[in-house]
Chain A
Amino acid sequence: ELKVEQNPLFLSMQEGKNYTIYCNYSTTSDRLYWYRQDPGKSLESLFVLLSNGAVKQEGRLMASLDTKARLSTLHITAAVHDLSATYFCAVDIRYALNFGKGTSLLVTP
């Protein structure tokens, strides 16, 4: 059974600080996706990582993929309140995506 584990599941951080969210998975896959969900809203695609060593950046967020370690990271730089949301990683299992449980991020002043 494929397991996708995110940590931490809850994160409260101050504005201006840096932090990393980790996504570990238990099966071979070279494709991984990050999504953002605001409360009561749908999922918005953030990053598509399609190979080992892939790195994508958008604003204060940077995602990377290490397929050998079966690990993806989502790094937050100089957090701002607008980044408060739940972040999901999802592993591509060819016929669908297998999601982690999500990391609820709260950025406080």
Chain B
Amino acid sequence: DADVTQTPRNRITKTGKRIMLECSQTKGHDRMYWYRQDPGLGLRLIYYSFDVKDINKGEISDGYSVSRQAQAKFSLSLESAIPNQTALYFCATSDRTGLAGGNEQFFGPGTRLTVL
């Protein structure tokens, strides 16, 4: 089984709808992240969380919110989806100790979201 899973894998929705993307991990890592990927732009950080009680905005948090329900679960919500939120969304995890691998991050399979 994959260490980092994301659901759904694909989603098509309409403008104005509320959408939740879910991420679960079995790696035992404390840190979790949400990125979005757009063609030609690389990955950009939306939110990150170092533990259940620690949530931080990233570079492009406007229009998004997150919830860290447990150490292993980190959800991303689009309260009112708009077309320019069409993108590939990745969840990632890393180990807070960072000793051996620095801040090496491990990525989920991604969720392809289309907002019409």
Query: A residues near B, CB below 8 A?
Result: 4, 9, 31, 33, 35, 41-45, 48, 50, 88, 90, 92, 94-102
Query: B residues near A, CB below 8 A?
Result: 33, 35, 40-45, 48, 50, 56, 58, 90, 101-110
Are the C-beta atoms of B48 and A96 separated by less than 8 Å?
Answer: yes
**Majority-rule SS of A interface residues:** strand
Are the C-beta atoms of B90 and A48 separated by less than 8 Å?
Answer: no
Contacts of A94 in B (CB 8 A): 103
Are the C-beta atoms of A92 and B106 separated by less than 8 Å?
Answer: no
The listed residue (B42, B50, B103) touching A101 by CB distance below 8 A is: B42
Contacts of A88 in B (CB 8 A): 42-43
Are the C-beta atoms of B102 and A102 separated by less than 8 Å?
Answer: no
Closest to A44 in B: B107
Are the C-beta atoms of A101 and B41 separated by less than 8 Å?
Answer: yes
CA distance A97 to B33 in the complex (A): 10
Q: How far is the CB of A85 from chain B (nearest CB, A)?
A: 14
A-B contact pairs, 5 of them (CB 8 A): A42-B109, A43-B90, A45-B105, A96-B45, A97-B103
Contacts of B43 in A (CB 8 A): 43, 88, 90, 97, 99
